[in-house]
Chain A
Amino acid sequence: MNSDTLNTLDTYSKNKYKYGFVTEIDDEKPKKGLNEDTIKFISLKKKEPVWMLEWRLNAYSKWKKMKEPKWANLSFPEINYQDIYYYSAPKGFDKKPKDLSEVDPKLIETYNKLGIPLEEQKVLAGVAVDVVFDSVSVATTYKGELEKLGIIFCSIGEAIQKHPDIIKKYLGSVIPPGDHSFSALNSAVFTDGSFVYIPEGVKCPMELSTYFRINAENTGQFERTLIIADKGSYVSYLEGCTAPKRDDNQLHAANVELIALEDAEIKYSTVQNWYPGDEDGKGGIYNFVTKRGLCAGKNSKISWTQVETGSAITWKYPSCILKGDNSIGEFYSVAITNNFQQADTGTKMTHIGKNTKSKIISKGISLGKSQNTYRGEVSFLRKAEKARNYTQCDSLLVGNQCGAHTVPYIDSKNNTAVIEHEASTSKINEDQLYYCRQRGLSHEEAVSLIVNGFCKQVLQELPMEFAVEAQKLVSISLEGSVG
């Protein structure tokens, strides 16, 4: 690496996290710590039926007996679960605002700073946004239009009250509360998140989108999202996240469950930009996320696309259970780590049905002193006749203090399964930088262009409206970290 490259990286890393402001709002929290009273407080605040409280308490009793999974290539101090607030809502949210005039103007301002147009007329054409601020869903736009098609798009809290039958049937059906300690934790204390139901035969005409933001200090965010695509339906869903700068680490343990019935398709895209910590590794979000989709019916399809640029620690494996015959699972991932960030991310494709197909494209970019691990498991069960997987993992290193690791597991119990695997690790190419700069691009622009090119296979999977945003985010995270 020549001196110019180092200089550029230096400039990059001095760039500041753009979303690191705090909104001053009185919030209302229970006492710190995790116990039955905390869970009762949350359930009461959310006016939940008794069965829901029982479901939570049951998960809590499982959690008490569990240990955190430790197999990931991550190191971090012990999490003190008794030093965290499990619920935070801006005061006055007991009654939900009917329209924007009832929402605290400071909140609106926060969203404006984040560039989220909360007012309907400002919403990017065709995007319905459900905004989750700490633990409460603030406003869902475009609700009326969706209702006409029979589509339900609301907060999970509202769904628990209004659609108990669907919730009882599907909540925890893909990620059982006892799956591992973070799923048990989330099941016990989840506060908000989105719920989507697309009725039979309906193609959702717009991108559905949720924006999460952690604002309050020492608050964990445990959102829970449930998306059900009924027979022959289609939906594309996008989730974006940011958090203010804090010196302490904040815990985020979300659960996302997707269910695609016969001939249905769900496309789930995430742009994750939680605060990654500073240049010295101080602060940042601990992101322990469980995302799992069930292709329950024949010919169903679930595809995960993620752009992960934030968080101090990312522990995340969006997975597909390919149960229906001919069902398809896809995973497209860009993970960028910088400074002291650690990411252990990948996917799990479980082939159960006949002729099931999965495709994994993972692009890891490591800068600074960061560690970036791809971990993937592809398994073929006994009945998965003629199932196929294609995996491609590419890592790009910028600098020589960072690390890239690829950990693929394959488990096949059916010998008709076909598996293709390609992997590469490369350094940013000085000849490419020279070429770009000879045309007049600055060193930073050249790095950003080359990295974006490296990620293109993944970025092009994002919905059009967000592809441009994601490209900018990639550039920013290179500047801000190479950031």
Chain B
Amino acid sequence: MFLEIKNLSVKIENKKILKSLNLNINKGEVHAIMGPNGSGKSTLANVLAGKEDYEILNGKINFKDNDLFDLNIEERAQEGMFLAFQYPVEIPGVNITPFLHSAINSKRKRLNEDEIDNLSFAKLLKSKASDLGINIDMLKRSVNTGFSGGEKKRYEILQMSILNPDLAILDETDSGLDIDALKIVTDGVNKLKTKDNSFLIITHYQKLLDYIKPDYVHVMVNGSIVKSGSCEIAAEIEKDGFQKFQ
């Protein structure tokens, strides 16, 4: 199994957010999680990425034959986990080029691969950026600083394409995007997709799923997955909302 979440319960500040959650993802699969605001979707994404604010009450997570809880944030990232944040943070003064260059090299170091040199990296970054319709000028700016919501999301997808993760978690990457931006973002995902990598796409609209076809759709309510199935669930939600799952 590629990613296996078993019976996961998580608490923050005395509030239990995730409750006995189970989820399995195989290599090459695309999963979508849908759920109302506050149901715990971002919490799940952050627990997977290793954010330290949470208390794990119960459960196990396996990722590529590792006990995920043995790895810290950067080790998980270097093992191929990528989280496109719902609200990417601004880092003033830090240019995207050296930032991503260090990121890709720390991953290569862990895999005992040679580091990529400045010139090859600059080329790679430029070509990925133009694939995603990102202006070269944007590469000169500081990470997320002064970006619009849509620019930040595109920037997350650019980083994802460069780091080429085994498991990409997209936390509401679609929200706040107009149709053109949504196309660019979903194109990015579809281009990256192979039979060897997996996606966990968190969304709360069905719209995104018109562009990315998930293999499975899960409904998350109040910290648990209450229903799993095919794309048809998304259509049900679109029609009737989340009420009937609550």
Contacts and interface: CB of A to CB of B under 8 A. Distances in A.
A4 B71 CA distance: 13
A350 B163 CA distance: 52
A440 B89 contact: no
A4 B52 contact: yes
Given A438-B85, A439-B159, 18 more contacts: A431-B89, A432-B89, A434-B51, A435-B91, A435-B143, A437-B77, A439-B99, A440-B74, A440-B78, A440-B104, A440-B106, A440-B107, A441-B106, A443-B74, A449-B91, A449-B99, A454-B93, A456-B92
B194 to A, nearest CB: 20
Contacts of B73: 434, 437-438
Given A440-B77, A445-B102, A453-B94, A4 B89 contact: no
A453 B92 contact: yes
A443 B72 CA distance: 10
Contacts of B163: 439-440
A83 to B, nearest CB: 44
B93 A453 contact: yes
A435 B89 contact: yes
Given A439-B103, A439-B163, A440-B103, A450 B89 contact: no
Contact of B77 (A4, A432, A438): A438
6 contacts: A438-B85, A440-B77, A441-B74, A441-B102, A445-B102, A453-B94
Nearest to A2: B52
A429 B74 contact: no
Contacts, number: 77
B142 interface: yes
Contacts of A3: 52
Given A439-B163, A454-B92, A445 B106 contact: yes
B74 A437 contact: yes
A84 interface: no
Interface string A451-462: 011111100000
B3 interface: no
Q: Indicate the member of A4, A438, A449, A457 with the most B CB atoms within 10 Å.
A: A438
Interface string A352-366: 000000000000000
A435 B103 contact: no
A87 B140 CA distance: 50
A445 B77 CA distance: 14
Interface in B72-117: 72-74, 77-78, 82-83, 85, 88-89, 91-94, 98-100, 102-104, 106-107, 110
Contacts of B104: 440
B interface residue count range (under 10 / 10 to 19 / 20 to 34 / 35 or more): 20 to 34
Interface in B52-83: 52, 72-74, 77-78, 82-83
B49 interface: yes
Contact of A436 (B49, B83, B91): B91
Contacts of B102: 441, 445, 449
A455 B93 CA distance: 8
Given A445-B106, A449-B94, A438 B89 contact: no
Given A2-B52, A437-B77, A441-B102, A432 B93 contact: no
B236 to A, nearest CB: 33
Nearest to B72: A4
A441 B94 contact: no
Q: Which 3 A-B pairs have the closest CB atoms?
A: A453-B93, A456-B93, A453-B94
B52 A442 contact: no
Given A4-B52, A453-B142, A441 B103 contact: yes
Given A437-B77, A442-B74, A450 B106 contact: no
Interface of A is mostly: helix
B93 A438 contact: no
A442 B78 CA distance: 10
Nearest to B98: A449
A435 B85 contact: yes
Interface in A70-111: none
A439 B100 contact: yes
Contact of A453 (B52, B74, B91): B91
Interface string A288-327: 0000000000000000000000000000000000000000
Contacts of B99: 436, 439, 441, 449
B48 to A, nearest CB: 10
Contacts of A452: 93-94
Contacts of B49: 438
Interface in B14-50: 49-50
Interface in A411-452: 429, 431-432, 434-443, 445, 449-450, 452
Nearest to B84: A438
A5 to B, nearest CB: 10
A455 B78 CA distance: 28
Nearest to B52: A2
Interface in B119-152: 142-143
Nearest to B83: A438
Contact of A450 (B91, B107, B110): B91
A2 B54 CA distance: 12
Contacts of B106: 440-442, 445
Contacts of B88: 435
A449 B98 CA distance: 9
A437 B100 CA distance: 11
A228 B49 CA distance: 58
A449 B88 CA distance: 17
A439 B107 CA distance: 9
B111 to A, nearest CB: 11
B161 to A, nearest CB: 13
B71 to A, nearest CB: 11
Contacts of A445: 102, 106
Nearest to B81: A438
Nearest to B145: A453
A437 B110 CA distance: 14
A438 B98 CA distance: 16
Interface in A1-30: 2-4
A437 B143 CA distance: 14
A437 B51 CA distance: 10
Contacts of B92: 453-454, 456
A439 B161 CA distance: 12
